Amino acid sequence: MSPPPKSPEQPGAPGGPESRAPAGWVVAVLLEPGRDPEQGRRYFAIGRADRAQAEWVAVDMAISLGLRVAASPAGGEEPVQALVPLSPVRMRALGLASGERRDLGDRRPRRWLTA
């Protein structure tokens, strides 16, 4: 006799809660206006489950790239904004490891933002 199948709510079940819990984030960082008016936001993929930590890592990355991060909201947009949570399955499909950080550039990363 085999054990009953696990329901999706049970830990360890395929499609269970841990597969939907974020393991990473796509974060947008608002930049100060500079020479190039087109460059308003910079996008980062951060392999950290905690949203606040992911946002801070994105700011640190922007600063380490020599970019000037906006200090206050502009045009109704926050300076740092976690846009989309990434599930472990989605991170694996996109090649982002846990703890990894990736600069996605200044164009809206549509591939990373779709489910």
79, 72 Cβ separation under 8 angstroms: yes
Average pLDDT, the chain: 84
Is 72 contained in some domain? Answer: yes
Is 113 contained in some domain? Answer: no
Q: How many domains does the chain have?
A: 1
pTM (predicted TM-score): 0.79
Is 10 contained in some domain? Answer: no
Residues 91-101: tens digit of each pLDDT: 999 999 999 99
Judge whether residue 21 has pLDDT over 50: yes
Share of the chain above pLDDT 90, in %: 63
Structural domain that includes position 27: 22-107
